[in-house]
Structure 1
């Protein structure tokens, strides 16, 4: 309990949150104390930190194939289809991790 990271402790993970706030906008890997695929960690761009949760962009969605919104692109297979003929290609993903579940995190050594 002296380190402040135990459940019900006075800091409730405040030291981890404080360190992660300094890394906003950077790519990090966070390892959580839960089962399944989370044991491999979550790598992404850190976009939000508070005393309860952190949020990472773990997959960036694809842009429109013709961002001008006109027939600027020649017809044919994606990504060169004309306006209105875009296939669904993905919206991206954001991962939310409770501070209390963070076992460790890894950051780049350069620039910190």
Structure 2
């Protein structure tokens, strides 16, 4: 087991990275996400974030002081509906299947 790669991967926990694997098909195109966890067996990426919580002001209850493009008061605008059941996804990748690891230089 190469503990150097595990130590290197651990330095990027919390950052967005791309991991390419030795598998074929769509998984060979790489996985991009926030690195959540690293251990000697696998890494975990959050590859898609869920939706944020709705605003307590989402029901048009805030004061009518927002301005439109002509500078006239229009009141608050209702946000676009948030799709239901969007909870994101997590990807566990075995360390021994990692072909390459990409991260930002800074």
Q: TM-score, normalised by structure 1?
A: 0.69
Structure with the greater alpha carbon radius of gyration: 2
Q: Could you tell me which of 16, 21, 25 is aligned with 1:27?
A: 16
Structure 2 unmatched ranges of 5 or more: 61-77
8 Å contact kept, 1:24–1:46:
yes
Q: CA deviation at 1:13?
A: 3.2
What whole-Å deviation, never above 9, does each CA across 1:51-102 have from its counterpart, x for those lacking one?
A: 0000011100002334x4xx8514x7842xxxxxx75140001110000100
- Residue aligning to 2:67: none
Give the count of matched residue pairs: 90
Moved runs in structure 1, 4+ residues, more than 2 A? 76-79
Over 3 Å counting, the alpha-carbon distance change for 1:100 and 1:63 in structure 2 is same
Structure 1 unmatched ranges of 5 or more: 1-11, 80-85
What whole-Å deviation, never above 9, does each CA across 1:18-69 have from its counterpart, x for those lacking one?
A: 1100111111100001111111100111110000000011100002334x4x
- Residue aligning to 2:32: 43
- Determine which structure has greater relative contact order: mean sequence separation of CA pairs < 8 Å that are 6+ residues apart, divided by chain length: 2
Q: TM-score, normalised by structure 2?
A: 0.73
